[in-house]
Amino acid sequence: MSRSERLIDLIQVLRRHRRPVSGRQLAEETGVSLRTLYRDIASLQAQGAEIEGEAGVGYVLRPGFLLPPMMFSEEEIEALVLGSRWVAKRGDDRLAAAAVDALAKIGSVLPGELKDKLDGSTLLVGPRQPIVDRIDLGLLRKAIRSEHKLALHYLDNDGRDSHRTVWPFALGFFEETRVLAAWCELRQDFRHFRTDRIRQADMLDNRYPRRRQALLKDWRVARGVDPAGV
Amino acid sequence: MSRSERLIDLIQVLRRHRRPVSGRQLAEETGVSLRTLYRDIASLQAQGAEIEGEAGVGYVLRPGFLLPPMMFSEEEIEALVLGSRWVAKRGDDRLAAAAVDALAKIGSVLPGELKDKLDGSTLLVGPRQPIVDRIDLGLLRKAIRSEHKLALHYLDNDGRDSHRTVWPFALGFFEETRVLAAWCELRQDFRHFRTDRIRQADMLDNRYPRRRQALLKDWRVARGVDPAGV
DNA sequence: ATACTGCTGACAAAAACTGGCAGCATGTGC
DNA sequence: GCACATGCTGCCAGTTTTTGTCAGCAGTAT
């Protein structure tokens, strides 16, 4: 296995472990000596991987994705840039910030001439009044990712307050609004919640008992939605 | 210079040349023997760079971007995926296809567990009836990129046919429609053309006499648009 | 204090890389 | 058809890089 392959492999090994892992163990799993492992870790850190080592504890990889070198066509880059611009305009604050950061990262590794091409890119996203949410959508995404229950304080269609515990599994971005899709414990059915009507959301400590993927699948079947779409 | 640095350098050298370049010349520019250059080319091709070599001619790099390894946070990846999904739904056919390809490329380099996360990703783009264009928007983008004039057959607001030569510099994606922004030779001013009203577009051989960036800048000033926005 | 761990330097062995050569295949120009 | 330019591969010796071992220092948890 070449060195560069091994480095990527090392990332994967690190990802598999949530708890800190000792260098000795990493060295065994990647089939290399401890000394070389330290050198590999240094290489990855130099390349921007956020690996943290602490004496007496071990290594942890800060959550994220290290993408290997890859080739994109001009149109594919245009698509990525246009899409990120859309998110930067229409996503919630945190996601919009992430889109801007991602664009900056891609831009920073392109040679000057091509960076200009992106900066002055000529694919534009039309304006629209921003959507205001009372809550942090980052919390909703976090609950979705970690499959945790949410306690919602929701303002009903008819203006009635309601409190429910739901199992959130998806977030839909429409033009006028955003919608949280979740299983509602109260109604024992799928329900959709406009994010601008969510007064408050608190993530509970316990996870819900089903897999997010399974919920998503059932929901699509229940709505008769093309599995590839929406 | 380390080997990996030299490989990236080689990509840049190839990009600088539009015409085919001989291996001998590339070897000189990268400061390496011809034999090693052939090996370098092979390495780049193995990494996915689309370099084409033809006996008796030389090497050409198919236009595109080779991104080095880079680290994205979980939210940044989510932003890229959501953005690409929006383009895949709302972009014109070619750009939508490019977005799908870009997503597939990113997906293919992620380890299984993370790929599932993307495939079953829980950030969704709301549906909407598709926009129909009579022309290929890829041609418009190509004209914009290469700063070539376009001959438009346009259906006016009042239903009148018109033929004009324009200098296209931007393409705006709105929810209901898409708009080509260009300098109109007929009116000697900026004009906007809804793409669904463009009956026919032909790219002319001659380039327009100004820089696309400059046009974009003037247009923004003329419209009083925030330079970072739209 | 002890055990565990991260981290660095030095140095020799192992592996990879490099350059030169030779040869073959394929394309261009005449 | 011919000469020429170019891409491409195998071989091999010299060079460079990578790797493993050893040794030592520093920080953390118990």
Fold designation for B3-61:
Arc Repressor Mutant, subunit A (1.10.10)
> Average pLDDT for residues A122-140, to the nearest whole number?
79
Task: Say how far apart CA B46 and CA B107 lie, in whole Å.
Answer: 18
**Does the pLDDT of residue B119 top 70, yes or no?**
no
**Residue B36, CB, less than 7 Å from strand C?**
yes
Q: Which of B10, B45, B67, B93 to mutate to test the interface with A (most CBs of A within 10 A)?
A: B67
Task: Return the pLDDT at A230.
Answer: 42
How far lies B123's CA from each of A114, A178, B75, in Å?
A: 30, 10, 11
**CB-to-strand D under 7 Å, chain B 21-80:** 21-24, 35, 38, 41-42, 53-59
Percent of chain B clearing pLDDT 90 (strictly above)? 34
On the 0-12 / 13-18 / 19+ scale of CB atoms within 10 A, A227 is exposed
The interface predicted TM-score of the complex, written ipTM, equals 0.76
For residues B189 and A112, the model is more confident at B189
Positive or negative, the CA dihedral A26, A30, A35, A41 is negative
* H or E, element range at B70: strand B70-72
- What b/e string do you get for B176-209 counting C-beta neighbours within 10 Å, with b at 16 or more? eebbbbbbbeeeeebbebbbebbeebeeeeeebe
> Average pLDDT for residues A72-81, to the nearest whole number?
86
What pTM was estimated for this model as a whole?
Answer: 0.77
Confidence tier at A157 by pLDDT (50, 70, 90): confident
How far lies A66's CA from each of A44, A51, A69, A192, B116, in Å?
A: 10, 11, 10, 34, 16
> Average pLDDT for residues B64-72, to the nearest whole number?
79
Task: Return the pLDDT at B228.
Answer: 41
Q: Do the domains A3-61 and A137-223 sit in the same CATH topology, yes or no?
A: no
Mean pLDDT score of chain A:
85
**Residue B6, CB, less than 7 Å from strand C?**
yes
Q: What is the largest CA-CA distance in chain A?
A: 66
The architecture (CATH level 2) of B137-223 comes to: Roll (2.30)
Mean pLDDT score of chain B:
85
Q: Do A70 and B72 touch (CB under 8 A)?
A: no
- B196-222 tens-digit pLDDT: 899 999 999 989 999 888 888 888 888
Choose the weakest-confidence range: A146-155, B13-22, B27-36, B106-115: B106-115
DSSP letter string over chain A?
--HHHHHHHHHHHHHH-SS-B-HHHHHHHHT--HHHHHHHHHHHHHTT--EEEETTTEEEEPS-EEEPPEEE-HHHHHHHHHHHHHHHHHS-HHHHHHHHHHHHHHHHHS-HHHHHHHHT--EEEPP-PPP--SS-HHHHHHHHHHTEEEEEEEE-TTS-EEEEEEEEEEEEE-SS-EEEEEEETTTTEEEEEEGGGEEEEEEEEEEPSS-HHHHHHHHHHHHT--TT--
Choose the weakest-confidence range: A108-117, B26-35, B103-112, B147-156: A108-117
Task: Return the pLDDT at B163.
Answer: 93
- A4-50 tens-digit pLDDT: 888 888 988 888 887 899 999 999 999 999 999 999 999 998 887 88
The residue extents of the domains of chain B are 3-61, 74-119, 137-223
The three-state (H, E, C) secondary structure of A127-169, written as one string: CCCCCCCCCCHHHHHHHHHHCEEEEEEEECCCCCEEEEEEEEE
> Average pLDDT for residues B137-154, to the nearest whole number?
90
